[in-house]
Structures are given as structure tokens and as C-alpha cells.
A = this chain, B = another copy of it.
Amino acid sequence: MRDEHVDFQQIYEEYRPRLEQVEQILKERARSNQAELTSAGEQLLEAGGKRIRPLFALICGTVGENVSDDVAKIAAALEMTHMATLVHDDVIDQAALRRGRPTVRSAFGNLAAMYTGDYLFARAIQLLAEVDNQEVHRAMANGIVKMCQGEIEQIQDFYNWSQGFKTYFRRIQRKTALLIALSCGLGALVGGGRNEEVHALRRFGYYTGMAFQVIDDVLDFTGSAEVVGKPVGGDLRQGNITLPALLALRNPGLAKRLQELVHPAMSAREATEAIDLIVGSGALGEAKRVADWYIAKALLALQAVSRVSVRQQLTTLTLFLADRTF
């Protein structure tokens, strides 16, 4: 039996030089001649993160015969776009911490967070403009438009128990899956993949992203070490109704009570009761099975990719990341 953790480390080792190249671009680009922007940008960079999007882009960038230098730029632009959305999301969520560190909005205020997000976003667009590929620009622009739509929908879906599964899945598609799909698809495109490979990797990224977000939404209820710095059930506490909550709602014995408990003025006690009801309902296990289904779809999509190393690395990475806390 193979040890997936070792394999995962090996992939990071193999891509370390290129990931460091991406990190270097990020450092250069997050800088400005404006001190507060630079501090906010550096704080975001130091907070790190797993750089999943760049890694996916770099792996998919090896799908063809030649590795293009543009892949690192695209990887960095994707990560900066991701950082920009996080900064604006933290304003929406009034988040004090992310990955255990103060958010930009809590360190510098909401206004500075708005402009830090704008700035990072502008820098991402600027970086992307250096890549001479119209299709990259269009795909990225279309993706960003959808992400923005998703983010404003998220505000409206707060505390909305009648939103249904379709609304939830559309929201996480825009919030998470889209950018991972772009990472894989654009990596493959610039990496010279065949048309069907580009589409397959885009699909792979989409399903993987859906799985990752569902898993995140489950972890939010279990308070694992991965989500340290956030209170258990933090999503629900701020009115963000995710898959486990929607699954629990299908239980007629719980539905009425959940809807009574979760409202804009809910107390900490009400929130805790609602979280306990959801956790006790078996909804987390059901949600995990939804994530498993997305993972299976993602791995299936990979079959259209010719290069064995790409299939293997993406499979290992996805299984490791999806499994990290289950």
C-alpha cells in the first residue's frame, strides 16, 4: 500500500523550484510604493496557504511537450485573484482571523481591506496582461465576473433557509470551483495540452474545487486543526447556510427548530444549539459522501489526459487534500 502523504511531499519537492518562482512573483507584485498596501500584501503572503491553485496550474502546465514560462505568471495571477477575493470576503464576513492570523480588515480596517483587495486584483490583471494569449485573458475575465456575482449572492443567501441545494451548489461553484477549474484549464492551455485535455483538466479542477468547498463546509462544523482560528460552526454563526445545514433541514423533526434558531439576531446559545442539532443529525457524513462523489467525478475526468505523471500527481494531490481531516 502506498503512503499518500509521502507521495504528496514528493510532488511538493518536485515542484518546489517552480513554486518558489511563483512565490517570488507574488512578493514582487504585492509590493507597492504605498506602505500600508505593502504591509497588507506582505501579511497576506506570510499567512501563506497551501498555494493549491498555483500547484494545480504548474502540474497541468506539464501536460504538453514544453513547459511555458507563462505558467508561473498565470499561477501567480490566479493566487493573487484568490487573495483579493479572500480580503473582500473577510469584509463581508467581518472576519477577525484567517489561518490563525489577523485579517487585513481587522488589522487595517474595512476601507483599507476594500482597496487592498482592489489593488491585488488590479495587480493580478496586470500580471496576466503580460501573457500574450487572448484566450487566457477571456477565460480569466469571464471567471472573475462569475466570482463577483457569486460573492454578492452570498450576502443575499445569509440566513435564507429556503435557498435549496441548487443555490448552495451554484454559490460554491462561483466561490471556489471556478478558480480551481481556471487554474487547471489555463495551466493546461498554456502548457500546450490538446483541446480535450484542456477541457478535461478544467472539469477536473471544477469537481475538485466543489469537493474542497464541501469539505471545508463540513470542517467548519467539526472545528479540526485545519480551521484553527475560527469558532466551530463559524459559518452558521454568521448566517452562512452550507450543505450540512441544508441536509439537516430535510429532517422534518429538525427543520422547524433550525429555522427558529438561526436568524440575524441569534444568540451564541441559539447558534450552539443549531450546530449541535446539525452535527447530531448525521448531515456531516452525508455531506462527506457528496464530496466523495465530486472527487470520483474529478478523477474520472482525468482519464482523458495522456501524460501519466499529470494524472498521477493530480490524483495524489486531490486525494491527499480531500482526505486531510476526514
Contact, CB under 8 Å: A155 / B92: no
Contact of A149 among B37, B111, B153 (CB under 8 A): B37
Docked complex Cα distance between A158 and B140 (Å)? 35
Would A32 and B118 be within 8 Å (CB), given that A125-B144, A130-B138, A134-B129 are in contact?
Answer: no
Contact of A118 among B88, B134, B140, B141 (CB under 8 A): B88
> A182 CB to closest chain B CB, in angstroms?
13
Residues facing B in A145-181 (CB within 8 A) are 145, 147-149, 151-153, 155-156
Contact partners of A111 in chain B: CB under 8 A: 91-92, 155
Contact partners of A140 in chain B: CB under 8 A: 129
Residues facing B in A129-145 (CB within 8 A) are 129-130, 132, 134, 137-138, 140-142, 144-145
Contact, CB under 8 Å: A37 / B152: yes
> A95 CB to closest chain B CB, in angstroms?
13
> A159 CB to closest chain B CB, in angstroms?
14
> A272 CB to closest chain B CB, in angstroms?
26
Contact partners of A125 in chain B: CB under 8 A: 125, 141, 144
Would A152 and B36 be within 8 Å (CB), given that A141-B125, A141-B129, A144-B125 are in contact?
Answer: yes
Contact, CB under 8 Å: A145 / B116: no
Would A149 and B91 be within 8 Å (CB), given that A129-B134, A141-B126 are in contact?
Answer: no
Find the B residue at minimum CB distance from A138: B129
Docked complex Cα distance between A125 and B132 (Å)? 16
Docked complex Cα distance between A126 and B141 (Å)? 5
Contact partners of A123 in chain B: CB under 8 A: 145
Docked complex Cα distance between A121 and B85 (Å)? 13
Q: Looking at A33, A126, A140, which has the most chain B CB atoms within 10 Å of its CB?
A: A126
Q: Mark A259-278, 1 if CB is under 8 A from B, else 0.
A: 00000000000000000000
Would A112 and B152 be within 8 Å (CB), given that A129-B138, A134-B129, A141-B122 are in contact?
Answer: yes
Q: Does A195 contact B (CB under 8 A)?
A: no
